[in-house]
Chain A
Amino acid sequence: MEHIRTTKVEHVKLLDRFSTSNKSLAGTLYLTATHLLFIDANQRETWILHHHIAAVEKLPLTTSGCPLVIQCKNFRIVHFVVPRERDCHDIYNSLLQLSKAAKYEDLYAFSYNPKQNESEQVKGWQLIDLAEEYKRMGVPNDYWQLSDANRDYKICETYPRELYVPRTASKPIIVGSSKFRSKGRFPVLSYYHKDKKAAICRCSQPLSGFSARCLEDEHMLQAISKANPSNRYMYVMDTRPKLNAMANRAAGKGYENEDNYSNIRFQFVGIENIHVMRSSLQKLLEVSGTKGLSVNDFLSGLENSGWLRHIKAVLDAAVFLVKAVAVESASVLVHCSDGWDRTSQVCSLGALLLDSYYRTIKGFMVLIEKDWISFGHKFSDRCCQLDGDPKEISPVFTQFLECVWNLTEQFPQAFEYNEAFLLQIHEHVHSCQFGNFLGNCQKEREELKLKEKTYSLWPFLLDEQKKYQNPLYKPSFSPNLTLLEPNTVSFNFKFWRNMYHQFDRSMHPRQSVYDLIMDMSEQNKQLEEDIKQLEAKIKQKRGRSDAVLVKEHQQSAHPAPVMLKTPPFFKKDQPLIPLNDAVLIFAFAQWCLTRLQREVSVPCQLLSALHLLYQLDSDFPLKNILYKLVLYHTSETNITDNIGKRYQFVIV
């Protein structure tokens, strides 16, 4: 709190970012310990987490006040005009301090309290169990085993403790290989394809320089290729552009020499480095943030930013990887420089294309937990969680999400989750509200005692998973073919408007098909439930009914014609037709079934039926059914009024 001088400023204006006529909303700005809050005259609230703030800028004073522009990591940009310069200055200074934490303990996750008790907190962290995940893939097995070499982070600080390696890779080989790899990141298993017996492995670049070699490293690769009985050749994918890899040789690093390793096929795939990606995104945002943008400026800006080219390159690399595994049953070793950026992108996307499990909500969490969090993607540095080196910032994970989004667009039925899920994960990677993404590697996370002091994001997402479900998802989508083969012609890549303009509502489609389908399927579920209840009741009543009733019932095997003769119920003075209740319930159940086809107009007989039911059994869920009924029956918005009316009417 010591950074906050002014907690409340009134008469602040929030400008519309894209309006050319300087449209604005007046309201009050509040500064809390964790958030910036703006409440406009319509009582609409805009919350901005301090950690989400990427940059604050004070523009030159104007006649209406002092403009303050805040850019967020989730691509929200807000433009305030504060009437008094003094207030503006205070807020500016406070935000500068609050948005940049000096140490992890200052991050929101350490103060965030979702009112969970300790056991819930522990359970939350246990939700994703990577040992379980490797078991699901089919390891350990005859070829692969769990290695304890890194149990104390002695061999590689940025790897997790549990690593899977070929059974034939002995400890000396592991140690030797790790010494020959940048940051000690030796080749380990990332994904195992049970059917093909092929593995996706990952590592960092070898310290080969111009001619150095390492027997243990060569043995390590040989062990990997031998662990695959289906194909003795293995691919080594260097995900960097060839020039970059060659330049690394001068620094004693580099890439594998095919002559020194037996049975490998070496391949560059040309994904650019973090610096190129950072400036590409910068250019993209500059273009998309332009006021009064023309189509051609947009397209040429999109082209010049190179952003979609990079997205395509990442996805192309994953497709290459998947082909090797799925078509040739070959194992693949993927690396870049340090093996935590491009390597994470390509390995995780490859697994996502190969294995439908990662296209489920839970599976996607596992995938991120495995290939990104546990293998040491430097979330803290890349997302600038602490005030650090700006050259370390890079949208590597954002690109991964964008690739996944592109896949969801191409395969709308293949994913259990929707775009909102991806956006929410992106939100929390930067929010520092949960412990999952804090720090750069597992060792660091353990030292921070995150599991005791913070909460895991995943159980919260699972709790609200309804929001993240894709209504079009079909688990049986290509049942015998879990493999996704995306078409990566340039044509298919689109600008991800909902990511980069998530908060610019005016740019979005005004109606959402997904929301509507979600609502409808929700209603259908409810109705099906009601039918079940009714059917149960029918059974019950049948049991009780006497022989006469049974006979009557059998005679009217087709109750519809009988029903049609029923006079309109809406005339109050007309008597109800005395029909036996079993028939009515039966008819109602049938009606419910037909109604699922979504038609309008309610048969008045139904209302008679309901009346009878109600008389027979006062705990009948009448109100509930009427609610549904009215919902289908009217397009009016004041449904509650209608319920009241009809309800009353029926029980008269």
Chain B
Amino acid sequence: MSCSRFLGSVGTIIIKCKDLRIIQLDIPGMEECLNIASSIEALSTLDSVTLMYPFFYRPMFEIVEDGWSAFLPEKEFEVLSSVTDEWRLSYINKDFSICPSYPPVVIVPRSIDDETLQKVAVYRHGGRFPVLSYYHKKNGMVMMRSSQPLTGTNGRRCKEDEKLVNATLRPGKRGYIIDTRSLNAAQQARAKGGGFEQEVYYPQWRRIHRCIERFNILQESLIKLVEACNDQSHNMDRWLSKLEASNWMTYIKEILTAACLAAQCIDREGASVLVHGTEGTDSTLQVTSLAQIILDPDCRTIQGFESLLVREWLQAGHPFQQRCAQSAYSNSKQKFEAPVFLLFLDCVWQILHQFPCSFEFNEHFLVTLFEHAYASQFGTFLGNNENERSKLKLQQKTMSLWSWVNQPEELKNFQNPLFEANSLVIWPSVAPQSLQLWEGFLSGC
């Protein structure tokens, strides 16, 4: 975003960046200034993805390990199959026809065949049938994620869905469904054809509603937060009330609380968990990925965290292109814009802040991911799902962020020198007194 004004023969261009930096350029000569301003304007609002930087970027470094093939689902599944044979890879979505926002390969219970999956997909919003998100080696409990069931007002049921969901339960054990909407919102969703799992049909499951805010409300929150941070003249009361009004910290607490709940069900209660909201592409992923960071020490390493992002965000179909289009300074209201991923990174930072020795990566790594999610020379965060990415031929035409990050000399910048592998589950405190404003991503302000 840029704007220009003139004072005498010196023109000033103010560039407001997606990484929240604000840069002021004073350019002598009216015409030059106008030219530059209009070029910036035009180049920063390209509407075709294929005109973006990743398609023109030529790396100056040698690719040691191609990031595009660093985290293949088959490889990840090998690890899983070494501890349990209760799961299988399904290629039912290989041409993206069953669920456009799912990857070609997903992990499902071995006892469920593709035919059943097909029926379940019809019953779930956007075809997002329940798939495995995380297997807790310690006790064999699992976390699944999906979208809402399409029960509608007349309470439609789907026996295949019930079968699939129940297949994840141990005999005689109960599970928890964590719905990331309030009960009210979930009930209202029925009018639009959506809904939630009814107790009668899912007697072995206990449903818990944990409201996590969505879309434009989150975007408003980010805009207000950045505004508050940009005005240094605020007195203490005004600053605190602006910070409060942004609700940013409230959302952080909401998300962390829901993630802790999911982790608690799995680790403490020894129960399996199914997480979903409406589409299962936003708050659902925040919860499932944070729960894994709490539970699984592997996710706290650099490679493990990258793998988590690939699995739970990129392949799981978080619509990065829609959510991370403009960042906080946009004038135009983007309907689908929302800092869902940024909030997730902030939550990771909160845990990192409370367990500073348990993460192999540092704060800089998180800030870098934030910046690349919004604007990058790499193709990793382009597109809204694997389907779009394969159509764009990103693997062939662009570079993966991981190819760059995982070079030894780059990795050095992201490593936490205090890291000592901690194999334990790490429970963060979510008390307001324990949460802090993450200044790292706001340092551009």
Task: Out of A295, A312, A510, name the residue touching B236 (CB < 8 Å).
Answer: A312
Query: Measured between alpha carbons, how far is A586 from B356 in the docked complex, in Å?
Result: 38
Task: Out of A300, A306, A490, A500, name the residue touching B234 (CB < 8 Å).
Answer: A490
Instruction: List chain B residues, Cβ under 8 A from A489.
Output: 232, 234
Q: Is A308 touching B232 in the complex (CB atoms < 8 A)?
A: no
Give the contact-size bracket for chain B. 35 or more
Q: Is A510 touching B244 in the complex (CB atoms < 8 A)?
A: no
- A308 — nearest CB in chain B belongs to which residue? B236
* B237 contacts chain A at the CB level, 8 A cutoff: yes
Q: How far is the CB of B443 from chain A (nearest CB, A)?
A: 11
Q: Is B434 touching A490 in the complex (CB atoms < 8 A)?
A: no
Instruction: List chain B residues, Cβ under 8 A from A495.
Output: 433
Question: Quick one: given A509-B354, A513-B356, are A494 and B436 in contact (CB under 8 Å)?
Answer: yes
Q: Which 7 A-B pairs have the closest CB atoms?
A: A298-B432, A490-B239, A299-B244, A303-B240, A309-B236, A295-B250, A295-B249
Q: Is B429 touching A506 in the complex (CB atoms < 8 A)?
A: yes
Give the contact-size bracket for chain A. 35 or more
Question: Quick one: given A296-B247, A299-B243, are A490 and B357 in contact (CB under 8 Å)?
Answer: no
Instruction: List chain B residues, Cβ under 8 A from A250.
Output: none
Question: Quick one: given A295-B249, A300-B241, are A507 and B434 in contact (CB under 8 Å)?
Answer: yes
* B353 contacts chain A at the CB level, 8 A cutoff: yes
Query: Measured between alpha carbons, how far is A502 from B62 in the docked complex, in Å?
Result: 51
Instruction: List chain B residues, Cβ under 8 A from A300.
Output: 240-241, 244
Task: Out of A18, A296, A493, A510, name the residue touching B426 (CB < 8 Å).
Answer: A510
A626-641 interface mask toward B, CB cutoff 8 Å, 1 = contact, 0 = none?
0000000001000000
B41-60 interface mask toward A, CB cutoff 8 Å, 1 = contact, 0 = none?
00000000000000000000
Q: Is B250 touching A507 in the complex (CB atoms < 8 A)?
A: no
Instruction: List chain B residues, Cβ under 8 A from A303.
Output: 236-237, 240-241, 244
Q: How far is the CB of A159 from chain B (nearest CB, A)?
A: 34
Q: Which of B339-365 contact A (CB under 8 A)?
A: 353-358
* B253 contacts chain A at the CB level, 8 A cutoff: yes
A interface, CB within 8 angstroms of B: 18, 288, 293-300, 302-303, 306, 308-309, 312, 489-491, 493-495, 497, 500-501, 506-513, 516-517, 635
Q: Which of B410-445 contact A (CB under 8 A)?
A: 418, 420-421, 426-429, 431-436
Q: Is A508 touching B235 in the complex (CB atoms < 8 A)?
A: no
Query: Measured between alpha carbons, how far is A127 from B247 in the docked complex, in Å?
Result: 51
A-B residue pairs in contact (CB < 8 Å), sample of 16:
A18-B431, A288-B433, A293-B433, A295-B244, A295-B247, A299-B240, A300-B241, A309-B235, A491-B232, A493-B236, A500-B433, A508-B434, A510-B355, A511-B356, A513-B356, A516-B357
Query: Measured between alpha carbons, how far is A490 from B234 in the docked complex, in Å?
Result: 7
Provide the main secondary structure of the chain B interface: loop
Number of A-B contacts (CB under 8 A): 96
Q: Is B240 touching A490 in the complex (CB atoms < 8 A)?
A: yes
Q: Is A294 touching B433 in the complex (CB atoms < 8 A)?
A: no
Query: Measured between alpha carbons, how far is A274 from B428 in the docked complex, in Å?
Result: 37
Instruction: List chain A residues, Cβ under 8 A from B432.
Output: 293-295, 297-299
Query: Measured between alpha carbons, how far is A296 from B213 in the docked complex, in Å?
Result: 15
- B439 — nearest CB in chain A belongs to which residue? A491
Q: Which of B232-282 contact A (CB under 8 A)?
A: 232, 234-241, 243-244, 247, 249-250, 252-253
Query: Measured between alpha carbons, how far is A27 from B356 in the docked complex, in Å?
Result: 34
Q: Is B241 touching A491 in the complex (CB atoms < 8 A)?
A: no
- A293 — nearest CB in chain B belongs to which residue? B432
* B229 contacts chain A at the CB level, 8 A cutoff: yes
Provide the main secondary structure of the chain A interface: helix
Question: Quick one: given A298-B433, A299-B249, are A490 and B235 in contact (CB under 8 Å)?
Answer: yes
Q: Is B357 touching A511 in the complex (CB atoms < 8 A)?
A: yes
- A305 — nearest CB in chain B belongs to which residue? B240
Q: How far is the CB of B139 from chain A (nearest CB, A)?
A: 22
Q: Is A308 touching B431 in the complex (CB atoms < 8 A)?
A: no
Question: Quick one: given A294-B250, A295-B249, A309-B237, are A516 and B433 in contact (CB under 8 Å)?
Answer: no
Q: How far is the CB of A576 from chain B (nearest CB, A)?
A: 34
Instruction: List chain B residues, Cβ under 8 A from A494.
Output: 436
Query: Measured between alpha carbons, how far is A465 from B417 in the docked complex, in Å?
Result: 26
Q: How far is the CB of B419 from chain A (nearest CB, A)?
A: 10
User: Most chain-B Cβ atoms within 10 A of its Cβ — which of A491, A495, A517?
Assistant: A491
Query: Measured between alpha carbons, how far is A494 from B435 in the docked complex, in Å?
Result: 11
Query: Measured between alpha carbons, how far is A501 from B429 in the docked complex, in Å?
Result: 13
Query: Measured between alpha carbons, how far is A639 from B36 in the docked complex, in Å?
Result: 65
Q: How far is the CB of B282 from chain A (nearest CB, A)?
A: 20
Instruction: List chain B residues, Cβ under 8 A from A296.
Output: 244, 247, 250
Instruction: List chain A residues, Cβ under 8 A from B435.
Output: 295
Instruction: List chain A residues, Cβ under 8 A from B236.
Output: 303, 306, 308-309, 312, 490, 493
Task: Out of A294, A508, A513, name the residue touching B357 (CB < 8 Å).
Answer: A513
Query: Measured between alpha carbons, how far is A595 from B427 in the docked complex, in Å?
Result: 34
Instruction: List chain A residues, Cβ under 8 A from B241.
Output: 299-300, 303
Question: Quick one: given A295-B253, A296-B247, A490-B235, are A497 and B434 in contact (CB under 8 Å)?
Answer: yes
Instruction: List chain A residues, Cβ under 8 A from B354.
Output: 509-511
Instruction: List chain A residues, Cβ under 8 A from B355.
Output: 509-511
Q: How far is the CB of B234 from chain A (nearest CB, A)?
A: 5
- B427 — nearest CB in chain A belongs to which residue? A510
Instruction: List chain B residues, Cβ under 8 A from A298.
Output: 432-433
Query: Measured between alpha carbons, how far is A156 from B286 in the docked complex, in Å?
Result: 66
Instruction: List chain A residues, Cβ under 8 A from B243.
Output: 299
Q: Is B239 touching A635 in the complex (CB atoms < 8 A)?
A: no
Query: Measured between alpha carbons, how far is A293 from B433 in the docked complex, in Å?
Result: 9
Query: Measured between alpha carbons, how far is A490 from B237 in the docked complex, in Å?
Result: 9
Query: Measured between alpha carbons, how far is A288 from B432 in the docked complex, in Å?
Result: 9
Instruction: List chain B residues, Cβ under 8 A from A491.
Output: 229, 232, 234, 239
Query: Measured between alpha carbons, how far is A507 from B243 in the docked complex, in Å?
Result: 21
Instruction: List chain B residues, Cβ under 8 A from A299.
Output: 240-241, 243-244, 249, 432
Query: Measured between alpha carbons, how far is A635 from B420 in the docked complex, in Å?
Result: 9
Instruction: List chain B residues, Cβ under 8 A from A497.
Output: 433-434
User: Most chain-A Cβ atoms within 10 A of its Cβ — which of B244, B354, B428?
Assistant: B244
Q: Is A507 touching B429 in the complex (CB atoms < 8 A)?
A: yes
- A511 — nearest CB in chain B belongs to which residue? B357
Q: Is A516 touching B418 in the complex (CB atoms < 8 A)?
A: yes
Instruction: List chain A residues, Cβ under 8 A from B232.
Output: 489, 491
Q: How far is the CB of B382 from chain A (nearest CB, A)?
A: 34
Instruction: List chain B residues, Cβ under 8 A from A490.
Output: 234-236, 238-240
Question: Quick one: given A296-B244, A490-B239, A491-B229, are A513 and B433 in contact (CB under 8 Å)?
Answer: no
